[in-house]
């Protein structure tokens, strides 16, 4: 198989719609997307379950500078469950140059799970890889363009609607998206460039040293997406709590479940392969992930303590007023 020009991916992250965290056995049942295919699971340092990979066929375009390149092949999709709580759908494809500039039979592409071939004329590998990565992240999306967002969303919706889930999560949260690209850069890697595109969409450009690191790039991005989601949820919970009086039940009901169910899931890099774990050091230094998390959790605990104290004062004051009547 040809060396990939670029890997393109999308990860959607949300809270599992369940009142309780799933055990590893329950996660194995939920994530068994295909009969006879096992779910990969880890217990240490934190629980992680990864579904079998399913291939989705595509025949579409990719932006290539001012032009488009036609690709044919498959997108690899899978589901990840972190700590029995955080649900992710992951879609990605390795884009390679086709040996022949013509479309082959589907049986040929099905045999290459998660690989799409460019059958258009394109520049050299380095130039084409950069152009395809930028086109995917910044180019327009229409009905003819590769749409990993829709592929990922369909898989996520399928899992969330499973009858074994009670649809009663302890916290109301949004879904975030991480769009990513990875290229082989030799001695230039590993390196990562992260952007917050808006309140719920992030993009990251990765450079890895060798082709063998591309699978690690996917796992790194899933790990990153889960921790970015945790940061987003905590920040939004603090903002939401400030809408209510400090002694109110609404404030406590907003803050307490976040602390109880999500605070213990923070383990950046715990599930990132060793060859790319150094990227977390860069993120910690530049983006300050753990510093922000520590600040948010401290703020969460402080607000809960203040809310508890104010609620007690409010109750004592009310009892005293009733006694003087």
Residue 276 CA to residue 73 CA, distance in Å, equals 27
Residue 304 CA to residue 259 CA, distance in Å, equals 9
- 264-288: average pLDDT: 90
- 107-130: average pLDDT: 90
Asked if the peptide bond before residue 45 counts as cis, ω within 30 degrees of 0, the response is: yes
Q: Give the tens place of pLDDT for each residue, 178-231.
A: 999 999 998 887 999 999 999 999 999 999 999 999 999 999 999 999 999 999
The total of other beta-carbon atoms located within 10 Å of residue 158's CB is 12
Asked if 22 and 41 touch (Cβ cutoff 8 Å), the reply is no
Asked if 80 and 47 touch (Cβ cutoff 8 Å), the reply is no
Residue 50 CA to residue 48 CA, distance in Å, equals 7
CB contact burial 193-213 (16+ within 10 A = b; e otherwise): ebeeeeeeebbbbbbbbeeeb
CA dihedral 291, 203, 178, 11 (to 10 degrees): -130
Q: Give the pLDDT confidence score for residue 321 in this predicted structure.
A: 60
Query: Could you tell me the two tokens for 311?
Result: 């609620």
Q: Give the tens place of pLDDT for each residue, 171-191.
A: 999 999 999 999 999 888 799
Residue 37 CA to residue 33 CA, distance in Å, equals 8
Q: Give the pLDDT confidence score for residue 317 in this predicted structure.
A: 67
Share of the chain above pLDDT 90, in %: 73
Strand partners, 195: 203
277 vs 320, higher pLDDT: 277
Q: Give the tens place of pLDDT for each residue, 27-52.
A: 999 999 876 678 999 988 889 999 99
Task: Answer yes or no: is pLDDT of 150 > 70.
Answer: yes
Asked if the peptide bond before residue 190 counts as cis, ω within 30 degrees of 0, the response is: yes
Q: What is the mean pLDDT of the chain?
A: 91
Angle between helices 249-261 and 214-241 (to 10 degrees): 160
Q: Give the pLDDT confidence score for residue 188 in this predicted structure.
A: 82
Q: Give the tens place of pLDDT for each residue, 101-110.
A: 889 999 999 9
Residue 318 CA to residue 316 CA, distance in Å, equals 5
């Amino acid at each position: 198989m040809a060396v990939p020009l670029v890997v393109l991916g999308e990860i959607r992250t949300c809270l599992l719609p369940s009142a309780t965290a799933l055990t590893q056995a329950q996660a194995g049942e939920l994530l068994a997307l295909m009969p006879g295919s096992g779910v990969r699971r880890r217990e240490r340092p934190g629980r992680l379950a990864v579904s079998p990979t399913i291939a989705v066929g595509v025949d579409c375009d990719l932006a290539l500078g001012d032009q488009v390149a036609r690709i044919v092949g498959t997108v690899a999709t899978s589901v990840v469950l972190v700590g029995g709580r955080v649900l992710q759908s992951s879609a990605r494809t390795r884009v390679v140059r086709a040996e022949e500039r013509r479309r082959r039979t589907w049986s040929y592409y099905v045999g290459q799970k998660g690989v799409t071939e460019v059958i258009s004329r394109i520049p050299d590998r380095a130039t084409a890889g950069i152009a395809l990565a930028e086109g995917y992240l910044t180019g327009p999306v229409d009905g003819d363009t590769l749409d990993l967002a829709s592929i990922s969303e369909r898989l996520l919706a399928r899992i969330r609607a499973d009858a074994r889930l009670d649809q009663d999560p302890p916290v109301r949260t949004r879904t975030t998206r991480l769009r990513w690209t990875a290229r082989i850069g030799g001695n230039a890697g590993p390196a990562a460039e992260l952007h917050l595109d808006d309140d719920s969409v992030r993009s990251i450009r990765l450079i890895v040293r060798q082709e063998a690191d591309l699978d690690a790039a996917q796992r790194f991005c899933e790990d990153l997406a889960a921790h970015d989601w945790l940061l987003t949820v905590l920040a939004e919970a603090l903002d939401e709590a400030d809408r209510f009086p400090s002694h109110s039940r609404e404030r406590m009901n907003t803050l307490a479940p976040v602390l109880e169910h999500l605070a213990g899931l923070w383990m950046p890099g715990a599930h990132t392969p060793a060859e790319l774990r150094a990227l977390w050091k860069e993120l910690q230094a530049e983006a300050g992930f753990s510093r922000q998390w520590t600040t948010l959790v401290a703020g969460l605990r402080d607000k809960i303590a203040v809310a508890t104290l104010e609620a007690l004062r409010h109750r004592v004051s009310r009892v005293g007023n009733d006694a003087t009547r």
